[in-house]
C-alpha cells in the first residue's frame, strides 16, 4: 500500500514549498507545546530539532501508513532565540533589534515514517544580514501585517525581502523548509522527490 505524505504544519509557506516541488500531501497540523529554549541551557539547534521531532511524533500517533514531514524555524541574534512577535509593538522592537545586523535562521526538519516508527531529524542554518532600514520603513512593514506570524518578525518571501541586504545559505531554509535537506532525508528512507 502506497504511503501518503503528511505535512504536520499549518504554515502557508511550507505548504507552498511542498506544492512547488509537486509533492502530493495532506495537512495535519501538530498541536504541541513548542520548546522556546527559555530558562534552559539548550542551543537553538537542539530547540528546533526537539520541536520538529515532537510535531512529527504527535501526528504519527494518529496515522498508520504515512510519511510525516515537520519543521521548526527560529531566528537567533546574539545567541538569543527570537520568536514570533506577540503584537505590533513587539514586531517593531524585534525589527529594530535586527536592523543592520547579521543573524542566523535555523530550521529543524523531521521525517517520521509509519508504521516503521522510524524518525530522521536534521538542522539547516543560514545567515541573514538586514540592511540599515529606517524606523518609518519598520512601521510601514509592520502595518502590512506580514510579520505577525513569523519568527524574527519578517518574511523573506514577501515584503520582508526589502529589509534584507544579504543571505548566506539556503533561501528555502529561511522560508521555513530547506528542500534539499528534506529530499536528502526522504532519500535515506527510499523516497526521492525527483
Query: Catalytic pick from 35, 38, 72, 90?
Result: 72
Give me 30's grid cell.
501538530
The yes-or-no answer on residue 90 being catalytic is: no
- Residue closest to 45 by CA, chosen among 10, 74, 82: 74
* Catalytic sites, residue numbers: 72
Amino acid at each position: 500500500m502506497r504511503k501518503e505524505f503528511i505535512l504536520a504544519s499549518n504554515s502557508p509557506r511550507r505548504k507552498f514549498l511542498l506544492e512547488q516541488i509537486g509533492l502530493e500531501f495532506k495537512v495535519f497540523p501538530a498541536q504541541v507545546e513548542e520548546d522556546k529554549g527559555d530558562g534552559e541551557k539548550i542551543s537553538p539547534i537542539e530547540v528546533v530539532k526537539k520541536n520538529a521531532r515532537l510535531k512529527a511524533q504527535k501526528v504519527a500517533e494518529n496515522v498508520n501508513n504515512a510519511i510525516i514531514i515537520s519543521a521548526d524555524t527560529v531566528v537567533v541574534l546574539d545567541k538569543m532565540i527570537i520568536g514570533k512577535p506577540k503584537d505590533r509593538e513587539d514586531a517593531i522592537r524585534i525589527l529594530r533589534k535586527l536592523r543592520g545586523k547579521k543573524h542566523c535562521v535555523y530550521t529543524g526538519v523531521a521525517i517520521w515514517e509509519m508504521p516503521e516508527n522510524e524518525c530522521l531529524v536534521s538542522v539547516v542554518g543560514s545567515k541573514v544580514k538586514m540592511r540599515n532600514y529606517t524606523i518609518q520603513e519598520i512601521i510601514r512593514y509592520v502595518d502590512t501585517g506580514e510579520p505577525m506570524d513569523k519568527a524574527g518578525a519578517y518574511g523573506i518571501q514577501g515584503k520582508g525581502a526589502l529589509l534584507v541586504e544579504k543571505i548566506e545559505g539556503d533561501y528555502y531554509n529561511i522560508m521555513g523548509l530547506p528542500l534539499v535537506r528534506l529530499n536528502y532525508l526522504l532519500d535515506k528512507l527510499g523516497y526521492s522527490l525527483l
